[in-house]
Structures are given as C-alpha cells and as structure tokens.
Amino acid sequence: MMRFLHNLAKPFTSTTQPQINFPKHLKPTRINLSLKSYLKSNPIKTILLFSDLLRKKISAVDSYSLLYVVKACAKKSLATEGKQAHALVIKLGYKHIIFIQTSLMDMYAATTNVSAVHKLFDEIPNKNVVCWTSLISAYVQNQKSYRALEIFRQMQSDNNVEPDQIAFTVALSACADLGALDKGVSIHDLISRKPEFSEDLSLMNALLNMYVKCGDIRKAMLVFDNIRTKDVRTWTSMIVGHALHGQAEEALRLFSALEEENNPRSRKGRGTEDQLLIPNEVMFIGVLMACSHAGMVEEGKRCFRSMIEVYGIKPTLSHFGCMVDLLCRRGLLKEAYSFILAMPIQPNAVIWRTLLGASGVHGNKELAAAARSKLYELNASLVGDDVALSNIYAAKGMWEEKIMLRNEMTQRRTPGCSSVEVGKLHS
C-alpha cells in the first residue's frame, strides 16, 4: 500500500515545476490549514504541498487533505491529477464522505467529464440537495442545460430532497441558457413561496438574468426593483438587458442612477465605503450599445473616456466595436476610420465589416475599399464583403471597377459542384 501511494504521488511533482520552500515540521492540522490557504491564493501550491506530504508523511493525509487537493484540481481543471486524487480517496477509504464525493463531482465537471460526474452521483446511496445540485451544475457548466433541467425535475420528484437557493440558482442558469421562459417562471413561482429566499442576492441575480436572457424585460425590471441591496451584477444585468432589447433610454437612465448612487454627496449618511458600486467592463458594453442605438455620440464618447480615465478599465475589442458602431450609425465614417486606425490593439473582422457596411449605406467607396482590403489582409473576407463594395461601384456608375471586382471574386472562389447517383429503377 505504501509503495503504491508513493508511486501514485509521483505524477503530482515534476522536475520542471518551480521548487517551493514549504514550512517544515508542520502538524497535520497546520498542514491542512496550509493546504486550505494555498487553495485560495494559488491552487497549484496546494497540489505541490500535498505531493510533498505524500512523500514525507503519508500518515498525515486525512479526509481534509484530500478534500483540498481535489478542490485545487477542480479550480485548475486538472484532469490527470484529479483522477490520481480520486484514486487516493478510494485507497484511503474516504470515498463515502459526502463532501469529498461532491468535490470530486465538481472536479470532473471542471474537466468536462460529465459521465464521470453522473457515475459518482449514482454511487451515492443517500443523495442530499448538494449532490443533486452538483450534478445539475455539471450539465449546465458543460452546455447541456436541457439535461440539467430534466435532472432538476427528477430532484423535485424526490420527496426527501427540497431544492435550496443554490439549486434554484443553477436551474435558473439552465433556463437562461435555453431561453426557457415558461420553466423559469415556474421556478420563480416556487421561489416566491419561500419569502426568505428573496434575501439571497445570488439567487435574485440569477432570476433577473433569466428574465433578461429570455426577453421578458418587464418582469426583469420588477425583479430588479424588488432587490433591496443590489450589487454590480444586478445593475449590469439590467443595463445590458435594456441595451440588448433596444431600450437605450432606460439603460442610460439606470447607468445615471448608478453613478448618482456613487456620488459622495448622495451617499452621505447611507453607510460605509464598501457599498460603492464600481461599473465593470460588461456594464460599459451595455452602456455603449445603448448610446449607439440611441445615436448619442457625445454621451458615448463621454462614457468611453469615463471608463478609461475614471474607472481604470482597459477597453476590449467589444468596447472599441461599440464605439465604431456608434460613429458609423451616425454617418461619421471618417471619424470611425480614424478611431480604428488609432486603436492600441488590432481591429478584428467585425470592426472592419461594420465600417464596410456603413460605407455601403452612405456610398463611401474609398472607405469601403479600405475596409475590404483590411478584411482581405486578415484572411477574413467573405463573398458578402465583395458584393457590398460591388454594389457601391454600381451605384456610383463605376462599371469598370465593378467588373474587375467580379473577376477577382470569380478567380478566388472555389467552383461549386454537385453529384447525382443514378441507379436502376425497379417497378
């Protein structure tokens, strides 16, 4: 047994991994505290310390040690190391401890091994709500939300298990992924029967997100208004929801309300600094989308500057894309082109195609040709891009350029082909 465990521990360490000087002569309780501490800050250190423990003092390994190393493997999505930890759990006789079983399920879910998750679940004799939730979460996490809702219904039919806040939260995530509004509404009805659940912010945020993604903005707003203590995720979901559904004014009104919440004068007498709600990058995507849909160029520019200068958020391609869309919708094509050229990161095909489409609408053949050329350089050119430029040439009466472009398209395109299998007909 000892030799087997030593051999099993070897894969946890490697000569290529950094050497870490761990505290020496730790008692088992302190070892577990160290494993737990590293789990929060750097899960790889948890695995390395556990490996060191296996080599030097296997007798110090207990159920907590294994629990922390399994959680570390889950956090880093380490399939091989996770399986090795699972083998140790079995060999040391800890496989029936419920917390380790659910942690193993979470580990296999993180490594996309849903069949292993379900196998572990089936092996648990007395399944509680945590077991069911881990299984449902595994399917949601691996883009199998329909199956997740089927399992949620199975859990509801089990008279010994009642869904808790976390189970409802996971089920609502599945509804959001599928756009399953009817199922989400029925879950909302179950939640409303438990008044204490309305105080769970994570659950309320999941409910809000479900209504937003399913397109019921009216009910989403009702949920938002009923959440007494909102966090940045609450505000982000509602602002992005309004923006996605073309309700630009409502999105910008909410963002203004959030900025007012953060105003020092309005915060007097309302609490401490920890209540400050800092907008995140996702929220600013919603804000910029709203500005674009409403045609509010100056407000969009102000928000973009505020994002960088006030909140210290580094713009992503999505933020730059929203700004290009904003300028293009207002016909400011030259400004959009200059903005793209000044970007600190390489523009992607979506950004250039936005400019190309707007150039087609406004008949700007120079910028259309420039955008098409950039798409060609990115190897992202589509037939539709050439057609857009060709239509501009036709509208301008530039027939020679149109013919040349059509010839280029013919040369680049792979000819289509079809086949027909001819057989004998029998009467």
Cβ contact 175:216 at 8 Å: no
Which of 213-222, 366-375, 383-392, 404-413 has the highest mean predicted lDDT (pLDDT)? Answer: 213-222
Question: Would you say 167 and 203 are in contact if contact means Cβ atoms under 8 Å apart?
Answer: no
Of 328, 336, 281, 335, residue with least CA distance to 303: 281
Is pLDDT at 18 greater than 70 in this prediction? no
Q: Which amino acid is at 135?
A: L
Contact 35, 68 (CB under 8 A): yes
**N- to C-terminal Cα separation, the chain:** 73
Amino acid at 386: D
Asked whether residue 395 carries a pLDDT value surpassing 50, the answer given is yes
Neighbours of 117 (CB within 10 A): 25
Cα angle: 147, vertex 152, 158; to 5 degrees:
130
State how far the Cα of 265 lies from the Cα of 262, in Å rounded to an integer. Answer: 9
Q: Residue 342, SS3? A: coil
| Bigger pLDDT: 357 vs 20 | 357
Using the predicted structure, report yes or no on whether residue 407 has a pLDDT greater than 70.
no
**Within 10 Å of residue 390's Cβ, how many Cβ atoms?**
22
pLDDT at residue 265 above 80? no
Q: Report how far residue 210's alpha carbon sits from residue 22's, in angstroms, rounded to the nearest whole number.
A: 46
3-state secondary structure of 177: helix
Q: Answer whether 315's CB lies under 8 Å from 349's CB.
A: no
393 within 8 A of 401, measured Cβ to Cβ: yes
What percentage of the chain reaches a pLDDT higher than 70?
A: 79
Q: Shortest CA distance to 219 belongs to which of 189, 178, 259, 177?
A: 189
Higher pLDDT, 388 or 89: 89
- The token pair at 21 is 């000087």
Q: What is the pLDDT of residues 205-223, one digit of tens each?
A: 999 999 999 999 999 999 9
Radius of gyration of the chain (CA): 29
For the ranges 132-136, 230-234, 257-261, 301-305, which has the lowest average pLDDT? Answer: 257-261
Separation of CA 27 from chain center? 40
- pLDDT at residue 57, rounded to an integer: 81
Question: Would you tell me the crossing angle of helices 349-362 and 383-395 to the nearest 10 degrees?
Answer: 20
Q: What is the pLDDT of residue 386?
A: 59
Confidence class of residue 377 from pLDDT cuts 50, 70 and 90?
confident
Q: What is the mean pLDDT of residues 46-57?
A: 90
Q: Is 424 left (phi over 0), alpha (psi -120 to 50) or beta?
A: beta
Establish how many alpha carbons lie within 13 A of residue 425's alpha carbon, considering only the half-sphere containing its beta carbon. 1
Q: What is the DSSP letter of 113?
A: -
Task: Identify which of 300, 187, 290, 218 has the alpha carbon closest to the alpha carbon of residue 248.
Answer: 290
> In 3-state terms, what secondary structure has residue 345?
coil
Q: Which of 48-62, 105-119, 280-294 is least confident?
A: 48-62
> Residue 192: is its pLDDT beyond 90?
yes
Q: Please, which pLDDT band fits residue 91 given cuts at 50, 70 and 90?
A: very high
Residue 24 has pLDDT above 50, yes or no: no
Mean pLDDT of the 372-381 span: 77
pLDDT higher than 70, residue 401: no
Residue 378: the pLDDT is 78
Distances (CA, A) of 265 to 104, 125, 257, 260, 307: 50, 58, 14, 9, 21
Pick from 46, 25, 49, 50: which is nearest to 36 by CA? 46
Tokens linked to 165: 């806040």
pLDDT of residue 411: 56
Asked if pLDDT for residue 323 goes beyond 80, the answer is yes
Whether 393 shows a pLDDT value over 80: the answer reads no
CA 211, 165, 169, 46 torsion-angle sign: positive
Q: For tokens 């998750």, name the residue.
A: 117
SS3 270: coil
Task: Quickly list DSSP for 214-262.
Answer: TT-HHHHHHHHHH-SS--HHHHHHHHHHHHHTT-HHHHHHHHHHHHHHT
Average pLDDT score over residue span 331-356: 94
